Chains A and B, each alone.
Chain A
Amino acid sequence: MALSGIEIFKLLPKTNCKKCGFPTCLAFAMALAQGKTEIGKCPDISEEAKSKLSEASAPPIRTFSLGKGEKAVKVGGETVMFRHDKKFFNPTVLGVNIKDDLNDEELVKRAKEVVDSEIERVGQKLRVEAISIEYASNNPERFESAVKAVAESAPDAILILNCGDPSVLERAVKLVADRRPLLYSATDANAEALANIAKANNVPLAVSAEGPEALSALTEKIKALGVEDLVLDPRPKNAGEMIQHNTIIRRAALKKGFKPLGYPIINLVTREDSLLEANIAAISIAKYASIVVLSSIEKWKNLALFTLRQNIYTDPQVPMQVEQKIYKIGEPTPESPLLITTNFSLTYFIVAGEVENSKVPSWLAVMDCEGLSVLTAWAAGKFVASKIANFIKESGVENQIKHRELIIPGQVAILSGALEDKLEGWKVIVGPREANGIPTFLRNRAA
């Protein structure tokens, strides 16, 4: 919860010494409340007041990085319950759990799956970012060598050391401390020991307890031991509990300013059936998890979860746009039909999908209309004859195709006359009003 200027003023030395550059302590306090200066500018403030102030001005959900270097990923820092209110900022980190009792060959294979998981979708590179190594062997040496093997095979992966035994964990973390692994997890039984390991190695720590209330007691205890980069696992028994726990945690942090739950969430979504697991992970992504740990990462599953994560974390204020250009659908030839539409991504997806369904290879001219749909762009004067004519001329499509026929959306049939005037030598053809008419339309023309 942010403090008011007066509340801040009460914590200042009240000497009006001007060392901060402000005429009075009150002026400084007011500026601080508005975020116009920093607390460090007052040299005389007490340590106690300072920590109170920085506590109060901290974001409601703590943000920090997992991993190190170029591929480090930020988690936390969310500010809303619903994506339409602003946006969700730091996309959920996806990870896979690998048990240390696999043989080395298998371990390396699983780690390589993570390395090879990267694919590109609508211009973004997407991948599984994290590997959790689970201490299942009950053999400390085995765990250490598994951590080493995985770390070497997947040099960019964020590591999660999934081991509750402090003595085993302490040795393993030393091997990869420079990678800033996440320790999983502190419980009632081992909180103090794990907090000390996290502190000594300067790494983040996951805390797990049954439900938000038990978690909050534990995080307070751990924070008092000096570890602040925490991740919460409310250990839900099923998907219903998961939604509720995650919602309660996020709500307590955002709406009540309840600091003991103001941390990113981790969900382990392990299910025997991989398809079910994919769907549980989907719920977790939509409902507030910052880290989701899976038990398997088949390619189809990754594609679906990457896509969902991208959808949920899209900025809802910015209309999604695709690049202005002439797209090839299928393998078009110089004789293939040419259609035009606007660059609102939804319009593009639907039109491109229907053209694809027609199985008629085509050229699709997508014109920059600031992300508006066809009718709106036309009404706003952006999708009009003169501008379309310019775009077609400048696009270079005249060198790609032999014919001079342009298919326009049926909704703007009204443009066809003016467009033929502006686009000399071209014939304008009115296409279907709705995208779902495109397959029949194209097939009939091709026949």
Chain B
Amino acid sequence: MAFTLPKESYSGKVLSLTFGKDDKAVTIGGEDTLPFLSFEGSIPNRPAIAYEIQDSPIDDWPETLKAVYKDVSDDPVKWARYCQDELKAQAIALRLVSTHPDRENRSADDAAKTVSEVLSAVETPLIILGSNHVEKDSEVLVKVSEAASGHNCVIGKAQEGNYKTIVAAALAHNHKLIAMSELDINLAKQLNILITQMGFDKSRLITDPMCSALGYGLEYTYSVMERIRLAALMQNDATMQPPILGDVGMYVWKTKETMAEESDVPEWGAIEERGIAWESITATSMIMAGANLLIMRHPKAVEVVKKIIDELI
């Protein structure tokens, strides 16, 4: 029996998207094949990784991770500079956790000020994230979009309950936008449609189907991402063609596996390696399923995922 290469032909293509400015700008997406199958298509851009920073001192990260940022995490500007200068971050994701009503409940204007300060301190492309509080985000993200006008940032996350104001702001100030839904391809599709119906071009969108950590529903995210990619490529479904985000760090670093001391669970082994493995393997799984952009926390996890990407492309 003679071997013939079983190639798939794809009718669709993932949209490419650029954020940030000048020579620091990052481009993601653009592939016309399933993840890393370069024998049957082209993959013009590598998956990109953004370092997550926060606008208020961290309290809920495990010690092993907190220690990495102990000298800079009291100030988002210092933290952003550290990511840019020491960690050579390709992108930075600033999460405005302090605006959450259950946290410091800082105002949208305060958040806008923080964003302006960070933007003037670093040239690294910025992703600006709210606190994931549906009502508050719609206020905060509008103000910060304005403050970041002209910087070609990624703003997020627009959800079913708040997308209208956020989309309008991203549109007015020329930003890219993350659309987030919860682990369901139909919800992801529907939200992308609603957003594009407001006149927001799909080539400026990033789909976030909601990440889950290794051991905590990873398989749901994995399969939803795979299905989104298949819809984009095989069925040429235009609403499913924006690049995909894996917001990895925030789901990983609250799991027991990243927190429990080895003395409490000797059978789980060294806590530091365990946490780094947890974040990197979650991230690696996400890019296998189709993610184009990752948000991560631990520099060693980022480093190993970069090595993986080097091997993959």
Contact = CB atoms under 8 A, between A and B. Distances in A.
B214 interface: yes
B226 A82 contact: yes
> Which residue, of A83, A220, A248, A345, has the highest number of chain B Cβ atoms within 10 A?
A248
A283 B308 contact: yes
A414 interface: no
Given A82-B226, A287-B288, A280 B269 contact: no
Interface in A201-222: 212-213, 216-217, 220
Interface in A272-306: 273-276, 278-280, 282-283, 286-287, 298-305
B230 interface: yes
A302 B278 CA distance: 11
B274 A303 contact: yes
Contacts of A220: 1
A363 B277 CA distance: 30
Contact of A307 (B132, B214, B230, B271): B214
B227 A357 contact: no
B100 to A, nearest CB: 9
Interface string A81-113: 011100000000000000000000000000000
Residue among B60, B102, B289 with the most chain A CB within 10 A?
B102
Interface string A407-447: 00000000000000000000000001010110111000000
Main secondary structure of the interface of A (DSSP, over half): helix
Contacts of A310: 215
Nearest to B103: A440
A353 B36 CA distance: 34
Given A220-B1, A307-B215, A248 B6 contact: yes
A248 B280 contact: no
Contacts of B217: 345-346, 349-350
Contacts of A280: 308, 311
Interface string B273-305: 110111011001100110000000000100011
Interface in A338-377: 345-346, 349-350, 353-354, 356-357
B84 interface: no
A121, A244, A251, A282, most chain B CB atoms within 10 A: A282
Contacts of A177: none
Interface in B1-30: 1, 3-6, 8
Interface stretch (B71-79, B162-170, B253-261): B253-261
Nearest to B309: A239
Contacts of B280: 275, 278-279
B308 A239 contact: yes
Contacts of A304: 214, 257, 274, 277-278, 281
Nearest to B260: A356
Contact of B269 (A247, A301, A357, A440): A301
A440 B1 contact: no
Contacts of B102: 432, 437, 440-441
Given A282-B284, A303-B274, A308 B37 contact: no
B interface, over-half SS: helix
A302 B274 CA distance: 10
Nearest to B59: A439
A316 interface: yes
Contacts of A217: 3
A30 interface: no
Contact of B219 (A216, A312, A439, A441): A312
Nearest to B273: A300
In this complex, the interface size class of chain A, counting residues with CB under 8 Å from chain B, is 35 or more
A282 B307 contact: no
Contacts of A357: 60, 254
Contacts of A121: 215
A389 interface: no
A123 interface: no
B106 to A, nearest CB: 15
A220 B2 CA distance: 10
Interface string A243-283: 11001100110011011110000000000011110111011
Contacts of A432: 102
A311 interface: yes
Contact of A279 (B183, B281, B313): B281
Given A239-B311, A275-B280, A346-B220, A300 B268 contact: yes
A312 B212 CA distance: 13
B313 to A, nearest CB: 6
Given A278-B277, A311-B219, A350-B216, A247 B288 contact: no
Nearest to A297: B269
A282 B273 contact: no
B222 interface: yes
B193 interface: no
A314 B214 contact: no
23 contacts: A82-B226, A212-B3, A213-B3, A244-B37, A258-B3, A260-B3, A275-B277, A279-B280, A279-B308, A283-B308, A300-B271, A303-B257, A303-B267, A304-B274, A308-B218, A311-B222, A345-B217, A349-B217, A350-B216, A353-B216, A353-B254, A357-B60, A439-B60
Interface of A: 82-84, 119, 121, 212-213, 216-217, 220, 238-240, 243-244, 247-248, 251-252, 255-256, 258-261, 273-276, 278-280, 282-283, 286-287, 298-305, 307-308, 310-312, 314, 316, 345-346, 349-350, 353-354, 356-357, 432, 434, 436-437, 439-441
Given A83-B222, A276-B307, 18 more contacts: A83-B219, A84-B227, A212-B3, A240-B36, A244-B38, A248-B5, A273-B307, A278-B277, A278-B280, A282-B285, A283-B308, A300-B271, A304-B214, A304-B281, A305-B281, A308-B214, A310-B215, A311-B219
